[in-house]
Homo-oligomer: A and B are copies of this chain.
Amino acid sequence: MARNLWGWGEVEAADRLEDSRARAEAFFGPLEVEEAAAPRVPAPRVEVPPPLRDFSSAEPRVRAAHALGKSYVDRVRGLRGDFSSAPDLVAFPRDEADLAAVFEAAQAQRLSVIPFGGGSSVVGGVEPRLGPAHRGAVTVDLSRLSRVLEVDEVSRVARIQAGVFGPELERQLAPHGLTLRHFPQSFEYSTLGGWLATRAGGHFATVYTHIDELTESLRLVTPRGVVQTPRVPAHGAGPDANRLALGSEGTLGFITEAWMRVRPRPVFRGAASVHFADFSRAVDATRAIAQSGLFPANCRLLDEKEALLNGVAGDGSSVLVLGFESADASVAPLLDCAVALAEAHGGTCPRGKTLRDDASKARSGDAGDSWRASFLRGPYLQDAMIRLGVVADTFETACTWKAFPTLYAEVMQAVRDALERGCGGGLVTCRFTHVYPDGPAPYFTFLGRGKRGGEAEQWAELKRAASDALAKHGGTITHHHAVGRVHRPWYDRERPALFGEALTAVKRAWDPSGLLNPGVLIDAR
């Protein structure tokens, strides 16, 4: 199957327009469908350097496929055929020697070097840009580094190359009876290296929320050489080197492989959907569970609009979707305890609890399942909205429990106001994707009617309103979508100024010529 050049996933899988159209038109009235324009790709500014010819391509379609990420604005640009940001060549290194050759050629030819995993960045993290001294850009696609190299079944860790996509990674772990169980929404079209470089958020609502917590050690190839962090489960020997590479977004080097914590597939599962008439009591219940030490695998609170939009509840209830899983023992006592805490805060469990003691059994029709299906459809739905002329996007944050009620009210209001101003109205919803003892990670979705040709400005206004409100009310600019270029204005204010200087100092030490991903995360200055 062919990848969709401008939108999500495979072309064939993307063809789900009519479904989405009916739902969008029910809200917005009749909508027109836009067809994708033929891609316009500029001529390369530089030739492929001879040392890279064996593993590089300058074909227009390949360059177009590496021109953009998958943000709302990226997709609008792609739909209209604008691939003006295409790199001059795309290298597909087979090993670290090829990477070294890329650095050498880039240095000699004055090219910026753009690390590329699955290209699912929604923050402009993979769009090729040039630094002041650059004549062109080489995108480095790591997809040939796609193997599980080694499995330590005793310690339950696996050495995995960074360019592997989610499903292929799981396919290679399966014969060992193991799974990484990191399922971001981009799972099918993003890579381990991308998850590590952007501190991706995954399956687990507690404890192992970011890929960080699943990382034992990693290997970062910088222009100055290799950083191989020690393979130990934990240490107290100075600041943690892993934590400097995690979230470095391709500005300090390429993560080429990592020892990742894996686990057997869960055998015992338990789930329940707890309904609340009052969102603020639902928040209190979720907080009680987050602070209980019960560590649910799933603890996703949907506000009433989110529950409605996802078909989880249609009566104005907020719904807390709880899930526990274990390979060792029934999770019934944990689920009972979590549900009891939720009920003590006014929740009800109209469909009861679901318990399974065998992973191979067919799934029941629990809300958790309809959630999962809708979750992976999300990015395709956004494509459909874009073709229908609807401005549709998500943004996310994390804040303390104390800050949340005001942040929620003010962010919702700010986005509603911005939708009113820019789109003549629209919809905004909220759910929690992850929870911590000290606060939730709220995730917002908004929809508004677009003006053909004016969507980028409409979106920018909505993004600005949302991000300003987050910053004002104690939210981070991102819990797991990374910084890239899109979040820079807010990140630069959130980040302690001296920490910015520290990152720049490290960048100078490891990438002294400023080859890597100019403008993302930090300035090379």
Contact = CB atoms under 8 A, between A and B. Distances in A.
Contact of A237 (B222, B400, B477): B477
**Range for the number of chain A residues in contact with chain B:** 35 or more
A292 interface: yes
Contact of A225 (B326, B477, B498, B505): B498
Interface in A147-188: 152, 154-157
Contacts of A504: 509
Contact of A479 (B199, B234, B288, B402): B234
B222 A155 contact: no
A33 interface: no
A33 to B, nearest CB: 35
A237 B487 contact: yes
B238 A521 contact: yes
A200 B236 CA distance: 7
Contacts of A239: 243-248, 503
A178 to B, nearest CB: 11
A120 interface: no
A436 B240 CA distance: 16
A207 interface: yes
Contacts of A479: 234-236
A499 B227 contact: yes
A233 interface: yes
A58 interface: no
A329 interface: yes
A293 B399 CA distance: 26
A319 to B, nearest CB: 22
B333 A476 contact: no
A374 interface: no
A116 interface: no
29 contacts: A152-B402, A154-B287, A155-B400, A156-B401, A156-B438, A157-B438, A216-B438, A222-B498, A227-B498, A229-B499, A231-B400, A232-B439, A233-B437, A234-B476, A236-B247, A236-B478, A236-B481, A236-B482, A237-B482, A238-B247, A238-B521, A240-B246, A240-B247, A244-B499, A288-B328, A498-B510, A501-B510, A502-B509, A504-B509
Interface of A: 152, 154-157, 198-201, 207, 209-210, 216, 222, 224-241, 243-249, 261, 263, 287-288, 291-295, 326-329, 333-334, 337, 340-341, 397-403, 434, 436-441, 474-483, 487, 491, 494-499, 501-506, 508-510, 521-522
Please name the 5 residue pairs, one residue from A and one from B, whose CB atoms are nearest each other, closest first: A333-B333, A233-B439, A243-B243, A233-B436, A235-B476
